[in-house]
Amino acid sequence: MPLLPPELADGQPRPRRGDPVARRAGRALRRVFASSPAAETAAVTQAAHAIQQPVATGRQIAVSSIRGGAGKSTVAALLALTYAHYRSDPVLAVEADPALGTLPHRLGAREVRWSGSDLAQIVDPAMLITDLTGYLLPFAGGGWLLPGSQGAIGTRLDLDTYRIVMTSLRRHFAATVVDCETLPAEVARTALVTTQARVVATPATPEGVAATRAVLDWVGGLHSGLLPTTVVVLTHTSPDSALDVRRAAEHLGAGGAAVLPLPYDRHLAAGGAIRTELLGERTREAAARIAAEVMDRAVSREPGRQQQQRQTTVHPPGQPPVYVPGQATVSPPPQDPQRAPAPAGPQAHAQQQQPQPQPQPAPGYHPPQAAPPAPAPPQGPAPQGTPPQGPPPQGPATQPMPTMPVAPPQAAGTPQAAGPPEGPGAPTAPDQRSPFDGGPVP
């Protein structure tokens, strides 16, 4: 179904350039005589790096406004075109304002085949992206568009339909730009809360700034993490704007929201499809800054997990260990009361090592000794064929500590068990054992 009647589509005026001739000529002269290619390249590289940063899951960005005519669909179209130009992964633009939205017109669509309501009835989690693109419309730069309606007047988007579509398409597209209804519509309020970043388009007028401040206060009251992921775009619909942009940014930026201006552009003010090659230079730079800021805030909502190193705490002997989350508690080894405690320092590790048992040499083998500790008495040569008596002399070696007896010591005052008689004249005690225990049989 065509978006515009044939008589209106054929009678559209020729697109205008965003910058007038005098501005383009002055810019060309400045590039020749007073240009800074290094600064321009650094700014473009920084914006491109932020736009092209990888994402773990699809980032969804909601674009809304306080009233119609604030440039909401224009900002959404610029974001979709910028992401499709810079990113190599799929980019999707969703029209969630079928009644008053102009996103298909801004992205150059001429006809609508399927809408979001139609796709919600046939979408399946097992569908691949190649299956979904048959129900979408391509736009310039390699992106995809999902219209909200087929040109019907007064069409409303159901909340359940919006949730089904956004949940099913999120895993297939790295960036999804949603052109929502004006606030406080139900779908717009749901999109502002469920997306990873949100953009509020406001006209660069004193009343527009005041109304947007009230909306930001409402958004901040819902959750403390919504304002830091919000970007306010001041859209200039007139070349002569009396608004102080710096004061407006300070007023709207309270709470953590970013405020960026979108300058007046003749190509955008004329309406119709947006052609990026006809945009003014300041408009292209502003669109890149807005897209980079939005992507930065959409990715920063997912906090990076920092690896915490596990620490070991040794509690003193005789006291119970104290459990601390994330730490391992280890008790020190028992110490021998007859041995002095090992000194602390670099020599502690060497002194704590136990001596290893030395292998015994084979019979008949005498290991060479450089300096014996004490001279041995002279011995005569042993006859041939006679093995040496006893083990060969060993060098000074540390002997292992003797082990404690297995039987525990008895306490003082405890009678000892009767043992065998000592001496030939000791009386023999009668055997009181039971026959079942090996005693005498009566």
The torsion of the CA quartet 34, 39, 40, 44, rounded to 10 degrees, works out to: 180
The answer to whether residue 192 scores a pLDDT higher than 90 is no
8: confidence class by pLDDT, cuts 50, 70, 90:
low
Chain centroid to Cα 308, Å, comes to 15
Q: Which of 109-123, 288-302, 410-424 has the lowest mean pLDDT?
A: 410-424
**Amino acid identity for residue 44 in this structure:** V
Q: Which residues contact 279 (CB under 8 A, 6 or more apart)?
A: 18, 265, 267, 268, 287
392: confidence class by pLDDT, cuts 50, 70, 90:
low
pLDDT at 430: 67
pLDDT at 436: 52
Chain centroid to Cα 369, Å, comes to 66
Look up tokens 């190649």; give the residue.
Answer: 130
Considering only CA atoms, give the Rg of the chain: 43
pLDDT at 143: 94
- Two tokens, residue 227: 């304002």
The answer to whether residue 261 scores a pLDDT higher than 90 is yes
The answer to whether residue 260 scores a pLDDT higher than 90 is yes
71: left (phi over 0), alpha (psi -120 to 50) or beta: left
The torsion of the CA quartet 66, 72, 75, 80, rounded to 10 degrees, works out to: 120
148 and 155 Cβ atoms separated by less than 8 Å: yes
Side by side, the strands of the sheet bearing 230-235 are 137-139, 143-146, 91-95, 175-179, 59-65, 197-203, 230-235, 258-262
Per-residue pLDDT tens over the stretch 127-159? 899 989 889 999 988 899 998 875 555 566 788
Residues 200-214 have a mean pLDDT of 93
Per-residue pLDDT tens over the stretch 270-302? 888 999 999 999 999 999 999 999 999 999 754
- Two tokens, residue 287: 């669109």
69: confidence class by pLDDT, cuts 50, 70, 90:
confident
d(CA 132, CA 116): 12
pLDDT at 349: 46
The answer to whether residue 307 scores a pLDDT higher than 90 is no
The torsion of the CA quartet 48, 50, 56, 59, rounded to 10 degrees, works out to: -90
37: confidence class by pLDDT, cuts 50, 70, 90:
confident
Give CA angle at 13 (12, 14), nearest 5°.
120
pTM for this entry: 0.65
311: confidence class by pLDDT, cuts 50, 70, 90:
very low
Q: Which residues of 215-232 are buried (b: 16+ CB within 10 A; e: fewer)?
A: bbeebbeeeeebbebbbb
**Which percentage of the chain shows pLDDT scores above 70?**
63
d(CA 190, CA 80): 21
The answer to whether residue 329 scores a pLDDT higher than 80 is no
- The phi and psi torsions of 9 (rounded to 5 degrees) equal -65, -35
pLDDT at 172: 92
- The dihedral of CA 131, 58, 100, 144: what is its sign? negative
pLDDT at 115: 85
pLDDT at 44: 83
Report the chain's mean pLDDT, rounded to a whole number: 74
pLDDT at 356: 52
The answer to whether residue 427 scores a pLDDT higher than 70 is no
d(CA 131, CA 149): 20
Q: Which residues of 343-363 are buried (b: 16+ CB within 10 A; e: fewer)?
A: eeeeeeeeeeeeeeeeeeeee
**Which percentage of the chain shows pLDDT scores above 90?**
31
pLDDT at 228: 92
Per-residue pLDDT tens over the stretch 225-246? 899 999 999 999 888 887 889 9
The answer to whether residue 393 scores a pLDDT higher than 60 is no
Per-residue pLDDT tens over the stretch 363-389? 554 555 555 555 555 555 554 544 455
